[in-house]
Structure 1
Amino acid sequence: MNESASANQPVSPQPTISLAPAQNALCTLQELARSCGRAAPSSGYLAHIARVLSREQLRLNAVLFGGLGSALLPDREWSGFPEYLDALEVQRPEDFRDTFLLRLAAALQAGDMRGLLDDETAFLSHCTRDEDGDATQENLHELWTLLNDPVTFQRVLVSHLWVMWREFLEPDWQRAEPVLAAIARHYRKRLTRASADVDAVRMVTGRDTASLLGSEREPNSVVLVPSAHLGKNPRVLHSETSAWVFFSIPEHPALYRRSPIGEAELLVRLRALADETSWRILAILNDRCEASTQDIMRELELSQPNASRHLKQISSAGFVLQRRAGGAAKAYSFTPGQIELTFQAVERYLSGDQPELAVRSPSGNSELNRFLDDEGRLSAWPAKRHDQGLVLTYLAGHFNPDREYSESDVNEILSRRHAWEDAATLRRALIDDRLMERSRDGSRYWRADL
């Protein structure tokens, strides 16, 4: 290809990574509208909100986000969602309404949407093309009525956003922001090291830029935003000049821990790192979104037992997340921030600023306390058989001896009681130690007498 032909090729903007607090909050409410429409909730958090909101609040959210969709997204970033809402409140009602109308017109390629305010049929016809939310005819009629009354529209929308922020989004943002920030730093470092021809969107989301963004729009900028409330698939929302690509982070307790790393857990983590093969596996996972056991076996020329042993070690130490990838296969990904957290704990320990382990755990057993965090969760799998018996007895104590459980019930309880993602191994260990029993077909579990 000659230079002039190359110059005429469209150049995709280099993506940036941002927490984008305002866009992040609006994406969550957008997902809530979709979840309450034709799709199942994409996260446990959205299912929780859907249960506790009143029917009227859910309906209003569907009216606003189902009808306006990505038109609610501002084109610029804000330092926080409250700052964005403060700016909305001081706008003139007509300017406020026209801003969203112009964005909606651009999203639907409908020309000047203000001209449709006199023709409800034409308005509904254009808006039903939008697939961003639950745009029912009834909801769109209410939205059309609101848009014809700028004062009421501004009051209803801003009031709804403030309620959702103060009652639901703010507490969750305070919990998730440090995790999102760690993940953003992790991917920024990866993008900085990547060569110019690497598809940055694919590196972060697992989907290539062309298939994810499509060809209908050519944004001036692409912003990758980590979200705590999406399912596996990334979500793309367009503002006036930008494409906001929201990608999910794992709902894993190790990412959200606030308790310090104790001495026993620190030693487990350091032992996991003191191994060349483990380092090589971590390097592979740090350079890609995900890798299977087979990928790692092939790249490092490892046997299946050897690869599984190292993956289990670094998973138990908190450095790697795992998920089922179909059948018995597992996929592994790097846990952002855990290496940094480990070496902060080393520095804290050497400086004498290590917290008392007996104080930080609620169990009352000084031997057991070494393996529990502040919330009473198992933070590391002990190496010694005696200590393994201690923690398994502790876990068995969370089951009612007078009740039978399904396998999924057992997994759910164990998932809440340990800080990595391997309930199946703990369940089997309880069976092997005869602390729990199960029916021959594996459909029923019950606690053995302790």
Structure 2
Amino acid sequence: MQLQTSAVADSLNTLQLLNRAATIRGASAWVQRTAQALSAKELADNQLVASLSFGLLPQNASQTMDEFLAELGSTEPNQWVAQIQQHLLELSASTGPLTSERLWQALRNAGIYSELATQQELLAAMQQPAQLLARVCQHLEHMWQTWFKAEWQQAQTAISQLNRQLQAQVPNEAALKGFRQSLGYAVNQEWQQLQEQRQIVLFAAIQNGSLTTFLADRQRLWVGIGFGMSNELQPRIISRNELLFRLQALADAARIQIMELLAQGELSAQAIISQTQLPQSSVSRHLNILRNAGFVQERRAGGATKSYRLVTSHIGATFAALEQALNQASPSQISSAQSESAVPASIQRFFNREGRMVTWPSKHIDRIPILAYFAAQFELGREYSEREINEVLKPHTGSDVANLRRYLIDVKLFERDGTGSRYWRKNEE
């Protein structure tokens, strides 16, 4: 298996990293510095061009940036935009005109992070193909010459070392198959089918740090590998506590019913309430638990309306982790990587590497999944003394455990007796 050294793929990947610099973790320090140095126009153009990355990936991975830009600049604009639109419809699994909803679905299926305003701008820009193509070419040329070229040239020795590391780490097709199965990137069954049909192309992503990122075109899934990779080409190891957190999220009849509905397609919260005949508060709680455990993704569908989609790949990854845990010979053989972080990915930004909370969120909505994670550390059906509660909570947080006890009761994850001396975890309704 070969690691491609594509300046074009790396540049498109870097555009997306810059767009996500405020929220992404694990990228190189250069990404944060550069994102802060970019002008408002550069940032706006980044958003637009990165939204088109699925149609800009090179057919020839060895093509230089100069060759790529010359070829792109000579393209007939109307034909180019027509191809872009057709590809978007294919990615959205739709026919007919390219609507804002189909564009959103296509970009989502291509793994592209794009704001609503950028999507609306892109739809409008497609009505003027020549101007859009010129803007794309000018921005790529500008970013390459101003920001990317020097970094790319300096990284060539490190890329060669990364390639040697990759050859040693994934020496055969069996390992590659495991890598394909471990991609936790799929968000629905249609995308999983597309993924299965695509060739995997690994490329050196020089600003990825410890990240593994993804770009997609018609035939290929481009996987960006950073220099800080430790074991990204092997399935991500899930700690036992995180596995327990996920399995507990599944251990409820109402949540299974919701997942069965979402397996048929994306639904609004109101549609789920209607079809399950559950109270709104119960559906909201169940959806939050599923979302925090990674099984459901949420998006705003206009105004205050939210819709939900099942993350089918997360289900497979969870039960693969369960099978792996059952096959462990003994607890002493659990790797240090497994025990490094028991914290679910959705709240890891509030914890350090040792799984200790270092930041208490200011927003109530961000506190709920943290409290749910803390509650999952306790056994259902067992009563705890105040001292026992403190002993369980202290290793996970430097915060005041008395306040945490109160929060757990306030959000109805815990109950206590009238004397305040006995606590127990509340059963899900």
User: Normalising to structure 1: TM-score of the pair?
Assistant: 0.46
TM-score by length of 2: 0.48
> Which structure has the bigger radius of gyration?
1
